[in-house]
Every structure is written in structure tokens, then in C-alpha cells.
Amino acid sequence: MKIIKNLIKIFLLLFVAGFLFIVFANYSITKESDPFISYAISEIPKVKTAVVLGTNKSLSNGGPNPYFKYRIDAATELYRSGKIQTIIVSGDNSVKGYNEPEQMKLDLIANGIPAEKIYEDFAGFRTLDSVVRAKEIFGQNKVIFISQKFHNERAVFLAKNHGIEAFGYNAKDVDKYAGLKTNLREYLAKAKAYLDIWFHVEPKFGGEKILIP
């Protein structure tokens, strides 16, 4: 019985420690990134390249994914404003028939952005991969990330810890009830971002350098 009680105490201590770490990570990342992200184009600096962070164009039920649409809209607005010259679309292409970068590129082209101004990163499996590869593969030391606010917070945090001067242009938010699952998952993702920095986690794939003239 004593052993069981001790195990319960250890479990509770670990649970509390884990909870406090998640709270700390979320508060810290949000606070650190806040000066560098905005919903207003006027507050975004002029930078050569923006990175659109990937997500699927469609939901699991086959319906349109608002996260995807709003990111494409934001990238289009930023390009038309003259704040950026080129765009990296970074996402998952690990399974045949599933290609986030290609989906994003086609929709950007449909919005009038020249194809030669769009560069595809097919190995953006995680936000960390998209961030680090923007520097290591595409040679960009100063970028604007395009995604929803909660996502940009994490991307900017990761970027600054990898020597990248980073900003975030926030795409329109999704209804808090429709995006409840994503928002809840983000609490854990921000904690994981800290662990990735502490343990020097690298992108899954490297590859040949891609020059953006």
C-alpha cells in the first residue's frame, strides 16, 4: 500500500510539473513573439521572402479548410502590398497524393501571383522543419511567416532561436469553436517547441540548396 501511495505522489508531482511547464512555455512564447507579429500589413516590414506554413486544403470530412484559405488570402494580400517579392510554400508531401505545397502554389497562382515567384518546400513536415529549412535550404536569414496568430507565435520563436530575423503576418482566425481541437493541440505544440530548442532537434530532411534570386 505504501508503494502505491508513493507512486501516486510521484505521478501527481510529474503531472503538476508538466502542467506548469506547458503554462510557462505558452506564456513565454506568446510574450516573446508578440512584438514581431501583426494582423496589419502596415506593421509588417518589407522583406524579400515570406513562408506560408502548410496545412491541408480540405478537412477530413471533405469540406474546405478555413485555415488553408485564410493563409492563402493573407499571402496574396502581403504580396500585392509590395512587402514581399517571393513566397516559400512549406508543407507535407510525405504521402503519394498528398501535397500541401502544390495545393498552396496552385491557389496562389489562381490569385494572380506569378509561378516563378513561388518556391515549394516539400519537406515542411513540422513547423520546426519549415522554419529551419527556410534558412538552411533556401538561404533566407530574414523572413515573414504567414499563418494564424497562434502558429506564427511558435514559428517566430523557433526562428529567433535559430538565428533568423523573423516576423509573422497573421491570417484571419478560425471560429474558436470550429478550431477548438487545433487550439488545444497548440498548447502542447508550444511546449514541444521548447524541448526542440533545448535538445537541438533538427529537420527530418536536409537537401540541396535552392537559390532564391
Q: Which three cell numbers stand for residue 30?
A: 506568446
Which position has the higher pLDDT, 184 or 114? 114
pLDDT, tens digit, 9 for 90 and up, residues 135-177: 999 999 999 999 999 999 999 999 999 999 999 999 999 987 6
Judge whether residue 183 has pLDDT over 90: no
Q: What is the 3-state secondary structure (H, E, C) of 57-94?
A: CECCCCCECHHHHHHHHHHHHHHHCCCCCEEEEECECC
Q: Measured between alpha carbons, how far is 29 from 26 in angstroms, rounded to an integer?
A: 5
178 pLDDT above the threshold of 70: no
Question: What is the CB neighbour count within 10 angstroms for residue 93?
Answer: 19
How much is the mean pLDDT over the chain? Answer: 94
Nearest to 145 by CA among 61, 12, 23, 36: 36
Using the predicted structure, report yes or no on whether residue 31 has a pLDDT greater than 70.
Answer: yes
CA-CA distance, 144 to 44, in Å (whole number)? 8
Contact (CB, 8 A) for 52 and 175: no
> pLDDT band at 4, cuts 50/70/90?
confident
| pLDDT for residue 57 | 95
112 by Cβ neighbours in 10 Å (0-12 / 13-18 / 19+) ranks as exposed
Least reliable range by pLDDT among 45-54, 77-86, 94-103, 120-129: 94-103
Q: What is the pLDDT of residue 197?
A: 96
Whether the pLDDT of residue 88 is over 80: the answer is: yes
Res 105 pLDDT > 70: yes
* CA 149 from centre of chain: 9
Q: What is the pTM of this model?
A: 0.93
Model confidence at 184, pLDDT cuts 50, 70, 90, reads: confident
Is the pLDDT at 9 greater than 70? The verdict is yes
